[in-house]
Amino acid sequence: MPPRALDPAGVALVDKPAGPSSFAVVAQIRRLTGARTGHAGTLDPFATGLLLLLSGRATKLAPWLVRLDKRYRTEIDLTFRTSTGDPEGEALERHGFPGKGELGEGLERLRGEIELPIPAASAVKIGGERAYKLARSGVEVEMPVRRSTVHALDVIAYTGETVTLDVRVSSGTYIRSIADALGGHCVTLRRTEVGPFSVDGAVALEAFQPGLLLPEAEVLERLEAARTAGT
């Protein structure tokens, strides 16, 4: 296969819909541009929101974009866990939902520097195999723990059975692990920000055109402005 083109170069801000995998979105953008294409962090198929896709020469920006903080909005069902931490897994034990006080204590324990197991249905490699493939095959493995920083964990709505959270975390944090630590699972998950980039400036997948790529210079300017501002 010939090497992919280095042009058009830039970063696409795409509002991913629920359903397709992030890699399917990457493949679709690649077909439209004809250029090498990468990403700066995936989203699960059920999740929606901001994907940063790198085209052409801009793929070299990946190391700086991947490590940016992320912001999400998620609705968590507090009445039972699932095997994957999301709606696609098998339901595990059901239990009563926490009161406001108990929920508040649980949230407080999850703020700041934390260590949580990586979800079994993740792309992390265990013994050379993707964890989600092992999980689908019924193979039980002990998942490694990852240290993360939860900068903000704010309640937007609470019904008793569900809680909607606005979450800002360091790169590599699994929101499904936070949901599991609260005794529940993510019903919805939407990524709203990646560093200085917002889903408000993203384009729907079906509306993407190569002319909408952010130039490398503009991406670097935003990163520098965010660094200077301390965000």
Question: What positions carry a catalytic annotation?
Answer: 44
Q: Which residues make Cβ contacts (< 8 Å) with residue 7, sequence separation at least 6?
A: 35, 56, 57
Task: Tell me whether the omega of the peptide bond preceding residue 8 falls within 30 degrees of 0, making it cis.
Answer: yes
Q: Which of 70, 61, 64 lies closest to 42 in space, CA to CA?
A: 70
> Coil, strand or helix: which one is 20?
coil
Q: How far apart are the first and last CA of the chain?
A: 41
CB 123 within 8 A of CB 130: yes
Query: φ, ψ for residue 86 (rounded to 5)?
Result: -145, 180
d(CA 134, CA 155): 34
CB 86 within 8 A of CB 44: yes
d(CA 117, CA 95): 21
Q: Tokens standing for 219?
A: 């991406």
CA dihedral for 155, 156, 159, 162, sign (positive or negative): negative
Q: Which residue type occupies 164?
A: T
Q: Which of 171, 205, 209 lies closest to 65 in space, CA to CA?
A: 171
